[in-house]
Structure 1
Amino acid sequence: MSVHTSPLAALGGRDTGGMNVYIRQLARELAARGTHVDVFTRLSDPNIPRIQHDVSGFRVLSVPAGPEQAVTREELHELLPRVIASIEDLARAEDATYDVLHSHYWLSGLAARQLTNLWQVPWAHMSHTLALLKDEHRGPFQQPETALRREGEDAVLRSADGVVASNEIERRELVDRYGLAPSRIHVAPCGVDLGLFCPESGLENHATARQRIGRNSDERIVLYVGRIEPLKGLDTLLAASALLRDRVPGLKLLIAGGSHTSDEPTERELARLNAIAGSLGLHDVVEFLGPKSQAELPDLYRAADVCAVPSRYESFGMAALESLACGTPVVASRTGGLQSTVRDGRNGYLAPIGDEHVFAERLASVLCESRLARRLGEEAARTALRYSWQRVADANLGVYHNLLAPDRTEVPLEVGADLGM
């Protein structure tokens, strides 16, 4: 269940990102194994069919509730009773019954909390981001999370039959910050499409990718992929780039992200970042590429010398894993789930949150030391092999089977050790 955004939505908008990829790829893998998967979401575009069939066999069921356009989180919260009623109506019309509910994000969790009682089925919940941690690390220009979200998220986490964390770090936060019993938390990682995100052979990885996307061979490319919002810490990356421009000939900072449609928060942050870039004299270094599809991203990662993830908070960090899978080292903030995939000094580097000086030094190490960069890249690709969607599906099926067991006791499913977490 993904009430606020469809897994089939185009990436790049304010409500689309790693969670959309996660739900889509997990549903595809489960469907490929013969599991019937329906994903319920609110209808937010009149041009989208009410029932969409993905090529792999899972369905996205878009239910009417309020205006057929994007709404704010607060507006969607008000619409939840209509969302729940529409889900019930559509499930009844389709004569659909389910064995387990899996909600994603707090708004979906609030809907699932009612449906689990109506349908008498167990319920697993995955938050993807946590309000307390977002607030703790929010940037100076970012609004705090609303009391509505904080209270709703807390209610969901305390009510779900099982809570899914993407790594051991998130599990500890759920115990320490939210007071959840460890026995209710199951660790199931995020994943990456290893058929799409993979390195090309040998030294051709950068060269051929750069030819395909029209980049010069003498450029030293730092890549950022993700949403354009203050929490992502792009101001830190711009400041680090200013420290590097005289040290690294041919330096380019490519920023892939943004919205396909008019989005005031994104446009406001883009304007702020452009102003910072101008004040730092970086307009010949920084290029804003706009949103990119999943199919376009692999060549961007392969063409880059290093991928930067300067986020103030990431529960997991899908872009880091995609970059690693393409054999491109990552320099990331030492925060959240990034610490579970980026191994400091092995497949990239971790830097203190918001510290442009350390970020610059770590980026310089990768950009200026070719043997080091090659070693980090080789280990990066090896790291990603542990995160196939097949393993992610295995882990989630384990959660479902645990919740469905007739003699179930609250024993957490352990998969983190298998992934070297």
Structure 2
Amino acid sequence: MMTNLAKTGFENAEEASVSFSVVINTDNRLDYLKRTLGGLRYSRYRNFEVCVVAGPTPDGTREYLETLKGEIKVAHCPERILSMSRNIGIAMAAGDVVCFIDDDAVPEPEWLGDLAEAYRDPDVGAAGGFVYDNSGVNFQARYVTTNRLGYPTDWNVPAPHINFPFALDYPHLLGTNCSFRRSALLEIGGFDEEFEYFLDETDVCCRINDAGYRIAQLSNAFVHHKYAPSHLRDERKIVRNWYPLLKNRIYFGLRNGLNHHSKHEVVEAGLADARGWEHGIECGRQSGDYSAEEVVRFYDEAERAVRDGQARASEPAKMLSEATRVAYRSDFSRYPVILPDEDRSTICFVTQDYPPGQNGGIARNVAQLARSFAAEGHQVHVLTKSRGTGTLDFEDGVWVHRVEMRHFPEPSPSPIAPHAVPSHIWNYGQTMLAEVRAIDAKHKVDIVYCPLWDCEPLAFLLSGEFPLIVALQTTMRFWLESQPLKVADAEWMREFGRPILAMEELILQNAGMMHANSRAIVRDIREQYGLALPEDRLFYSPHGMEDWSQGMEPAPPATGGETRMLFVGRLESRKGIDVLLEAIPQVLQAYPNAILDIVGDDTIPRPDGTTYKGEFLKRKLPMAVASRIRFHGRVEEDELRRFYQKCDIFVAPSRYESFGLVFLEAMVFGKPVIAGDAGGGPEVVTDGESGLLVPPGDSVALGAALERLLADPLLRSRLGANARRHYETRFTDAVMVRDFLAAFVRMGVREERGTAIEAPSGSDQMKRMQLASAGA
């Protein structure tokens, strides 16, 4: 029981708190198990251990668990019987409370802390919270009750009024989010091992209720359940094993329901289930979901289930044995979390694009930032636009919210008068603001980070609710320099171009803190917009990267003495693709063993409506040259990494880059870089040391640089080695995280030692915003 700290004599609140044993029963789902264990490392509550009981299926789980010795407790269940596995977990547990979570579920960081609050009441014998379904957005279960035949009902309110011994209906907890006071579990004998799967935790909740304990149904303590395939259901959730579902229905009712139902009613419930399955299976046979052999097997399993359910209920129950308790008893062994709660920040990254599927520079950089902060132990949420239904997933330690856009009334008056905010930008910003508010309701959000592109910070700036960092990238004004037809389109400029420019100026004038990935972007924005951008509202940090080359298989040697050049980026004027395509035929003519791979979105229209790829392919080049220019379009990250690894020269002659993430990605692999001498390029690529810089738009200079590197393998090797060294000393993700944490200190949301504190209210940022809005 959770006791008052003053009465315990403990100096450390953690020592005095309730201790948990988190039990994970797993079989043949190693990848899911890794994610569950990873999620537990972000727990804000530290007084817990983890007990993993692995089933008999050989899938590498046992070997993986060996690598975690000293961090978790490990046991093995000889049979695929979930209740037997759960009983082994109870025997291993040394905590005050035993929690069960499925191996295809991930808890939110507050899960154990929320459960601990319930156990302050000494009458509570069990507690559990809400369970999200595989979307991560909708609930699989909230407040569930179950009757004496094992049928559940989900309610909008908890059911303490029926939490009394032998009630017809009683509170129920889902098996993927249930916890029990260990002493209560031992009192009732643990799990009944007749339940190999299905109704196992329902039976325990029934017996806990009948023993007179309170079952606390919580509106928090969230767990996300992903419905992995199992021996019962395939990846489409089509049931292939009916025996335990039917047998356990009858067995459960005969064990727990005879005070309310006759034996005939219990058996009839099982037969009704069988008739329901029969109808579904006949339909499935016609649609091809079930084979004729499976239909025959169903009838055999149904007949055996009805017979065995009745027979087993007349035998003594197979409960947790003393022999099992003795065999698996062990001392409490605390599971290591990545970062203590007091040193942890909650960070929300807001970005329209995010991998997989969107691999532009902003998407990749935000993904790197998110992963890097998560790896340090911070609670990280990425909010991005859904391309379908909304989902919430736990990916690489990051909570990724793919959010469906909602409609919001347009602001009146407009914050950028005389212009109207484009409706899609307003709806996007307000949708993301609502999502951050929902996260903040669960746990205080310390920082929101938004790229300037498409004015993503606008809603957060106007609300002033959250400390905000605006990431400076290429702006609309810079982009328009390469879009003469857009500039000439009066309607487009009125409806979109000028409003974006006005919003950008509003954001730049009022953002409390801005992240500059290069000094060039600050210099150029100051010049183009005529704004001061005071240094006290800026922090400089180049993009950093984890080492993509780690763990990759060596690239196969080039065949026929080939030398591979690589371009990565959108095929648009600003990226200099026109300059490269102008220069490359002559280069390839001079070097018959050279190849150019072009990776990136090649569907972007030019000012005349055509594409660079389409127009280039119309040129009548010799086949010996044309066959060595290969357009690959957009690729996923794994394939992109392989392109970098295999190339000998990386070339990206951009007319402007605020930083140039592609330069850094090539440097990670030790490749010499040819870059445009503009924007942030010279701050990433050191001319003559890690690569070569060429004047933007100069195809002759670009061709000369390419030929220089193609002709000199030793120069390529020297520049590539220097590029790798520059990455290791200047551009790692560890350096980037350090810079950001220093910025958090400057903003007042963290102390120097790294402890999170309250952000000051009535900040200068909000005052400036109010003045700017009034002036607009």
Farther-moved stretch of structure 1 (284-293 vs 314-323): 284-293
Q: 1:294 to 1:264 in 2, by over 3 A?
A: closer
Cα pair distance change 1:143/1:322, threshold 3 Å: farther
Q: Tell me the equivalent position of 2:616.
A: 276
Partner of 2:644: 301
Match of 1:173 among 504, 524, 546: 524
- Please show how residues 109-120 of structure 1 align to structure 2 within 5 Å: 109-115=457-463, 117=464, 119=465
Could you report, residue by residue, the CA deviation over 1:269-288 in whole angstroms, capped at 9, with x for unpaired residues?
A: 87433322442615223100
Corresponding position of 1:413: none
SS in 2 for 1:209: coil
Q: Distance in 1 between matches of 2:630 and 2:706?
A: 18
Q: Tell me which residue corresponds to 1:55.
A: 396
What corresponds to 1:100 in structure 2?
Answer: 447
Once the two structures are superposed, residues 337-371 of structure 1 have per-residue CA deviations (whole angstroms, 9 ceiling, x without a partner) of 11111111111101011111000111111111111
TM-aligned CA distance change 1:199 to 1:32, over 3 Å = closer
Contact 1:142 1:231 (C-alpha < 8 Å) held by counterparts: no
After superposition, the Cα gap between the structure-2 partners of 1:221 and 1:109, relative to the gap in structure 1 and judged at 3 Å, is same
Please tell me whether residue 64 in structure 1 is matched to residue 417 in structure 2: no
Q: Shift of residue 220 of structure 1?
A: 2.3
Q: Is 1:185 equivalent to 2:526 in the alignment? A: no
Which of 483, 506, 520 does residue 155 from structure 1 map onto? 506
- Aligned partners of 1:63 and 1:86 also within 8 Å: no
Distance in 1, matches of 2:484 and 2:526, equals: 28
Q: Secondary structure at the residue paired with 2:714? A: helix
Following the alignment from structure 1 to structure 2, what is the Cα–Cα distance between the partners of residues 329 and 280?
31
Verify the 8 A CA contact 1:244 1:360 in the aligned structure 2: yes
Q: Tell me the residue number matched to 2:555.
A: 209
Q: CA deviation at 1:4?
A: 5.4
2:344 match: none
After superposition, the Cα gap between the structure-2 partners of 1:142 and 1:330, relative to the gap in structure 1 and judged at 3 Å, is: farther
CA distance in structure 2 between the aligned counterparts of 1:299 and 1:44, rounded to whole angstroms: 27
1:79 matched to 2:427: yes
* Deviation readout 1:248-279 (Å, 9 max, x if unpaired): 122211101127xxx6649x987433322442
Report the 3-state secondary structure (helix = DSSP H, G, I; strand = E; otherwise coil) of the residue aligned with 2:635: coil
Q: Is the 8 A contact 2:570 2:604 kept in 1?
A: no
Where does 1:28-39 land on structure 2 (aligned, <5 Å)? 28-39=371-382
Residue matched to 2:470: 125
- Report the Cα distance in structure 2 between the residues aligned to 1:24 and 1:84, rounded to whole angstroms: 17
Give the C-alpha shift of residue 18 in structure 1: 1.3
Q: CA separation in 2, counterparts of 1:381 and 1:332? A: 16
Conserved in 2, the CA contact under 8 Å of 1:230 and 1:269? no
* RMSD (Å), alpha carbons: 3.1
Alignment partner of 1:5 is 2:358: no
Deviation at 1:313, TM superposition (A): 1.3
Structure 2 match to 1:415 = none
* One-letter amino acid matched to 1:285: R
Aligned to 2:549: 197
Match for 1:184: what amino acid?
R
* Contact 1:255/1:287 (8 A) holds in 2: yes
Indicate the structure whose relative CO is greater, using CA pairs within 8 Å and at least 6 residues apart: 1
Q: Does structure 2 retain, via aligned residues, the 8 Å contact 1:325–1:381?
A: yes
- Asked if 1:366 is matched to 2:712, the reply is no
Find the partner of 2:736 among 375, 392, 414.
Answer: 392
* Residue identity opposite 2:474 in structure 1: T
Task: State how 1:227-242 maps to structure 2 within 5 Å.
Answer: 227-242=570-585
- Equivalent-residue separation in structure 1 for 2:445 and 2:520 (angstroms): 31
Q: Which amino acid aligns with 1:170?
A: I
Q: Which has the larger radius of gyration?
A: 2
1:292 positional shift: 1.9
1:351 aligned residue: 694
* Pairwise CA distance, 1:177: 3.2
Deviation for aligned residue 1:113 = 0.8
**Could you tell me whether the CA contact under 8 Å between 2:568 and 2:599 is conserved in 1?**
yes
Query: Structure 1 residues 309, 81: closer, same or farther in 2, change over 3 A?
Result: closer
2:168 paired residue number: none
Superposition deviation, residue 319 in structure 1: 1.0
Q: Is the 1:199–1:325 contact (alpha carbons within 8 Å) kept by the matching residues of 2?
A: no
**Distance between the aligned counterparts of 1:297 and 1:81, measured in 2?**
31
Correspondent of 2:479 among 134, 140, 145 = 134
SS of alignment partner, residue 637 of structure 2: coil
Equivalence map 1:249-264=2 (5 Å):
249-258=592-601
Give the deviation of 1:142 after TM superposition: 7.0
Conserved 8 A contact 2:658-2:680: yes
Q: Aligned AA for 2:471?
A: M
- Structure 1 distance, partners of 2:556, 2:353, is 32
- With normalisation by structure 1, the TM-score equals 0.81
- Name the amino acid aligned to 2:745: H
Separation in structure 2 between the aligned mates of residue 332 and residue 85 of structure 1, nearest angstrom:
38
Task: Indicate which of 671, 677, 682 corresponds to 1:334.
Answer: 677
Distance of 1:41 and 1:342 partners within structure 2: 31
Find the aligned partners of 1:347 and 1:269 in 2 and give their Cα distance: 37
CA contact (8 A) 1:307 1:323 kept: yes
CA 1:198–1:349 in structure 2 vs 1: closer, same or farther (change >3 Å)? farther
SS at match of 1:296: helix
In 2: Cα distance, 1:163 partner to 1:257 partner: 29
Distance 2:743 2:582 in 1: 43
1:228 offset after TM fit, Å?
2.3
- Structure 1 segment 18-37 matched on structure 2, within 5 A: 18-37=361-380
Residue 226 in structure 1 maps to residue 569 in structure 2: yes
Counterpart Cα distance in 2 of 1:291 and 1:127: 25
Q: Please report how far the alpha carbon of residue 400 of structure 1 lies from its aligned counterpart in structure 2 after TM superposition.
A: 1.5
Following the alignment from structure 2 to structure 1, what is the Cα–Cα distance between the partners of residues 601 and 609? 10
Supply the distance in 1 between the matched residues of 2:646 and 2:613 (Cα, whole angstroms).
24
Measured against aligned partners, the alpha-carbon deviations of 1:212-242 in whole angstroms (never above 9, x if no partner) come to xxx6342222110112223211111011112
Measure how far apart 1:88 and its partner are.
Answer: 5.9
Comparing 53-62 with 306-315, greater Cα deviation is found at 53-62
- CA contact under 8 A between 2:356 and 2:636: conserved in structure 1? no
CA distance in 2, matches of 1:220, 1:278: 25
The aligned counterpart of 2:163 is: none
Structure 1 residue 323 displacement after superposition: 0.6
Name stretches of at least 5 consecutive residues in structure 2 with no aligned partner: 1-347, 409-420, 750-758, 766-776
Structure 2 letter corresponding to 1:53: F
